[in-house]
Amino acid sequence: MLFLSILLPFLAAVGIAIASHSLRRFNLGWLVLSIPLILFGYFASHIPRIASGETLTFLMPWIPTYGIDFSFILDGLSLVFVLLISGVGSLVILYSIYYLSPTDSLPHFYTYLMLFMGAMLGVVLSDNLIVLYVFWELTSISSFLLIAFWFHRKNSRNGAQKSLLITMFGGFSMLAGFIMVHLMTDSFSIREILTTLPEVSNHLLFYPAMACILLGAFTKSAQFPFHIWLPDAMEAPTPISAYLHSATMVKAGIYLVARLTPGFGGDVYWFWVITIIGLTTLFWGSFNAVRQNDLKALLAFSTISQLGLIMTLLGIGSVSLHAGVADPELYALALFAALFHLVNHSTFKGSLFMVVGIIDHQVGTRDLRRLGGLLKFLPITFVLAVIGSFSMAGLPLLNGFLSKEMFFTAVLSVRELELFSAASMGWIIVTVAWVASLFTFVYSLILVFRTFTGAVKAEIDERPPVEAPIGMLISPIILAVLVVGLFFFPNLLGNAILQPALGTMIEGGAELAPRIYAWHGFNAELWMTIGIILAGSLAYYLLKKWRPYYQYLPSTWSFNNLFLWSLRTYEGMATNVTHRYMNGNLPSYFAYIFTFFILLVGGIWLTVGPIAISFSGDAEISLYETLLAITMAMAAMAILFAQSRLTAILLNGVIGFSIAIFFVFFRAPDLALTQLVIEAVTTILFLVCFNYLPEWKPETLSIRKKVRNGLIAFGGGLMVIIIGLAVNSYNQFDSISSYYEDSYELAGGRNIVNAILGDFRAFDTMLEGLVLFIAGIGVFTLIRMRQKKGAEPREDQ
């Protein structure tokens, strides 16, 4: 059943693609909605079993020789993600039914969405690194299709291309890391690897593998400086943004880091790299969100910031796996907070994306400069925006407040960390976290008050919008209820789902998991929150005075421009290289082909050492064979100096007929007859075809080109001779010819050649005949097309 849960979305995608024309008369979204609902019900039914410590497994061999199997596990950590994937997926599909226009290609949309859902389930349930990688890249491909859904828009195509290039670059790096991990642990099973990795931490490949894997995780989760693809991906329809960029795809990198923390956690570089990158992403995302005028762009940078917050918690929490840590429970809280905020972020950010989609759908714009006073027209949407934004800002009575307080507890704990010289950096980490949270508070206020309060713009007042239909409001309302409900009943989530997830990341994690409280007294964390509210409110009040200073930041010095410059540079280099060898000159193509052949064979020859060549077992060469070989050589050389096509064809025929005579000398009359027939037909065809070609004017080459071509020809011929002699002298294995000597007993044929062609190689011969049949159909079609074209009057006549 576990394997079927992954297979179900793929089967649905295939079914939609096949029956798309028949399903056009139905509202396809209602049919597709059943898939994530079924999956959510199935996974939710296993919550009690997982909470009790059980793990569901599935194993089906794929490539057992290399240890690659379809191995899947459902444990505490994967349960968190599959519930988000299926649960938020259900709400997104329900929302899309009312959001998308009937003119949109709904079969394509839901096909891509099902592919993505199945790929994400495969990522978080896979216990085999190679299978995980296959699903990982499938998420990149399917998200590319989803982001470019409105492909008629140039920005959609560019955003999809950027996300694909960056995430696949990270994916290739991650694959290299997986291979290095396999070389260290001799296993592709994640569970086996996590128990073995701490024992091989001194291995030469340990840190390169760590770096490659983290690169893949950072690119997928939009960590600095790879965050640049996420804002451009906002060109996708809002349901896609709500699904991919708040709850699922961007969490894949988070999942990978969390899953591999038991193997790499406790290492100094794992701690510092993840913590520093996470903090930098947290600050940079919140800092840039304030300057955005497009609501989806604001949410994009806020997503980047929140992902950085979760990554920071994973970095700090990894200290709990170090043997020398004095208080592992203190740092296990950071891992617990990462999981808690992961869920909270999916609820409030998914709701906010849907709110922005409602604004765009009902008003016709997402530009803050054209919005204002929407509270009068969209009161329910306003309430949803307040709940989502204030939870993102970390205000009380909302779930974001609880996980943000845990985040402050985690960063404050670094000041007391004696390992890794972290205590000296403690105040810097706390300061960056507080300033980033201050910007988060400011852009949350911007999203609410600049959109819904203030004067109503004239163009909105002329065409007043109306509240969205109830079908479009159901999904964000459910998420908003979860935002509020998780504040008042957080331990329902904590005990049933988060504790088992923590248990998969750290030994005894279920016992180390804290109970979640809203009130801890007037501690440092609360004073930090009060300071954010006071300073953030003042900063929002003075926003018009300090926001213009953003324009003084050098716009040309950005990672986005660096990416575009790199892309243009590589495209230019590729164009120049391509134009050098794809020049339309056939001799140049042969020169490149044979030069590569010479370098490849010669390089291998030099690498493996001298090739053994022996003439001891060869038969004597007769006078007739010598004369025939000299004749063929002279004919081949004479072709080079031929002044007409007829002469070249005849000389080529001399070579072919001489080969037929060789077969006669070697007592192979059937081969000689075949060669004679083929050579005669080929020569006649050459003569017929060349008769219709324009007059041949031999190309005049410079001395330099003649010398170059001569050297290439000599080198290519020499390599062929060496290969032939080496193969002839190779006797490490018994010849297989003795097997075919029993052709009569094995195949019922007295002629060994016929038996080989008709029985031993029957399938191969059949395919060759099929190829000739297809080629014949092609030729026949071209002739018929030419006849029909000739029967019609041409326009230029």
Burial of 378 (0-12, 13-18, 19+ CB in 10 A): buried
The candidate with the shortest Cα–Cα distance to 317, out of 291, 342, 350, is 342
Contacts (Cβ under 8 Å, ≥6 apart) of 691 = none
In angstroms, the CA 409 to CA 443 distance is 23
Average pLDDT estimate for 365-376 = 91
What is the predicted pLDDT for the residue at 284?
95
**DSSP string of 197-258?**
GGGGTTSTTHHHHHHHHHHHHHHHTT-TTGGGHHHHGGGS-HHHHHHHTTTSTTHHHHHHHH
Rounded to the nearest angstrom, the gap between the alpha carbon of residue 651 and the centroid of all alpha carbons in its chain is: 55
Q: Is 765 a residue whose pLDDT tops 80? A: no
- In degrees, rounded to 5, the angle at the alpha carbon of residue 557 between the alpha carbons of residues 553 and 563 is 140
Q: Cα 274 to the chain's mean position, in Å?
A: 21
Does residue 65 have a pLDDT over 70? Answer: yes
Report how far residue 158's alpha carbon sits from residue 228's, in angstroms, rounded to the nearest whole number: 12
Query: What pLDDT, on a 0 to 100 scale, did the predictor assign at position 784?
Result: 79
**Token pair for 583:** 């020049």
Lowest mean pLDDT: which of 309-323, 351-365, 480-494, 642-656? 642-656
* Residue listed under structure tokens 């042969």: 590
Tokens read off for 574: 């590729």
Determine the average pLDDT of the residues in 447-470.
88
Average pLDDT over residues 179-208: 94
Give the pLDDT confidence of 748-757 residue by residue, as tens digits.
Answer: 777 777 787 7
**Bridging pattern class, strands 68-74 and 56-63:** antiparallel
Q: What is the largest CA-CA distance in the chain?
A: 108
- Specify whether the backbone of 515 is left (phi greater than 0), alpha (psi in -120 to 50) or beta: beta
pLDDT for residue 787: 62
The amino acid present at 139, given as its one-letter code, is T
Report the alpha-carbon distance of residue 258 to residue 265 in Å, rounded. 9
Q: Is the pLDDT of residue 742 over 80?
A: no
pTM: 0.83
Q: For 766-781, write each residue's pLDDT tens digit.
A: 888 888 889 888 888 8
Helix (H, G, I), strand (E, B) or coil at 58: strand
Q: Is the pLDDT of residue 636 over 50?
A: yes
- Segment 170-175 mean pLDDT: 96
**Neighbour count for residue 467 (Cβ, 10 Å):** 15
Question: In whole angstroms, what is the distance from residue 586 CA to residue 592 CA?
Answer: 10
Q: Which residue has the tokens 């980033």?
A: 436
CA atoms 30, 32, 37, 38: torsion sign: positive
Q: What pLDDT was estimated at residue 786? A: 66
Specify whether the CB–CB gap between 185 and 263 falls below 8 A. Answer: no
Q: Over 60: is that where the pLDDT of 482 sits?
A: yes
Q: Choose among 397, 417, 391: nearest CA to 334.
A: 417
Amino acid identity for residue 130 in this structure: I
pLDDT, one tens digit per residue, over 236-254 is 899 999 998 887 889 999 9
Among 323-332, 593-602, 736-745, which is the least confidently predicted range?
Answer: 736-745
Pairwise pLDDT comparison (27 vs 286), residue with the higher score: 286
Tokens matching residue 126: 């896979």
For residue 352, what pLDDT is reported?
A: 96
- What pLDDT does 551 receive? 85
- In Å, what is the CA distance from 514 to each residue of 153, 316, 334, 634? 49, 16, 10, 90
Residue with the bigger pLDDT between 329 and 461: it is 329
Which pair of structure tokens corresponds to residue 169?
């670059």
Closest listed residue to residue 428, CA positions, set 438, 436, 439, 440: 436
Would you state the structure tokens that stand for residue 466, as one six-digit string?
Answer: 């109306």
Residue 640 has pLDDT above 90, yes or no: no
Answer whether 598's CB lies under 8 Å from 715's CB. Answer: yes
Pick from 122, 25, 115, 8: which is nearest to 73 by CA?
A: 122
Q: What is the mean pLDDT of residues 366-373?
A: 91
Residue 762 has pLDDT above 80, yes or no: no
Band of pLDDT at residue 797, cut at 50, 70 and 90: very low
Three-state DSSP class for 202? coil
- Residue showing tokens 């991919």: 244
Q: 3-state DSSP call for residue 128?
A: strand
Please report, rounded to a whole number, the percentage of residues in the chain having pLDDT higher than 90.
58
DSSP annotation of 748: S
Name every residue whose Cβ is closer than 8 Å to that of residue 249 and which is 6 or more positions away in sequence.
116, 120, 139, 143, 220, 243
Q: Virtual CA dihedral for 74, 77, 78, 81, nearest 10 degrees?
A: 150
Tokens of 695: 């007059």
Query: What whole-number distance in Å separates Cα of residue 597 and Cα of residue 602?
Result: 8
pLDDT at 794: 44
In the structure, what pLDDT confidence band is assigned to residue 788 with cuts at 50, 70 and 90?
low
CA distance 548 to 550: 5
> For 542-563, how does the pLDDT look when each residue is reduced to its tens digit (9 = 90+)?
999 999 988 888 777 788 888 8
As a whole number of angstroms, the distance between CA 211 and CA 217 comes to 10
Query: What mean pLDDT is predicted for residues 398-415?
Result: 94
φ/ψ of residue 692, rounded to 5: -95, 0
Classified as helix, coil or strand, 516 is coil
Average pLDDT over residues 268-294: 95
pLDDT given at position 512? 84
561-605 tens-digit pLDDT: 888 888 889 999 999 988 888 888 888 888 889 999 999 888 888
Q: Which pLDDT score is estimated for 96?
A: 94
> Hey, is 294 helix, strand or coil?
strand
User: Per-residue pLDDT averaged across 692-709, rounded?
Assistant: 79
pLDDT in tens, 502-521: 999 988 777 888 899 988 88
CA distance 448 to 450: 6
3 state SS for 356-391: HHHHHHHHCCCEHHHCCCHHHCCHHHHHHHHHHHHH
CA distance 88 to 479: 9
Lowest mean pLDDT among 85-94, 610-619, 649-658: 610-619
Tokens of 151: 């492909």
- Which pLDDT score is estimated for 795? 43
**Residue 619 binned pLDDT confidence (cut-offs 50, 70, 90):** confident
Q: Over pLDDT 70: what percentage of the chain?
A: 97
State yes or no: pLDDT of 374 exceeds 70: yes
Residue 454 pLDDT > 90: no
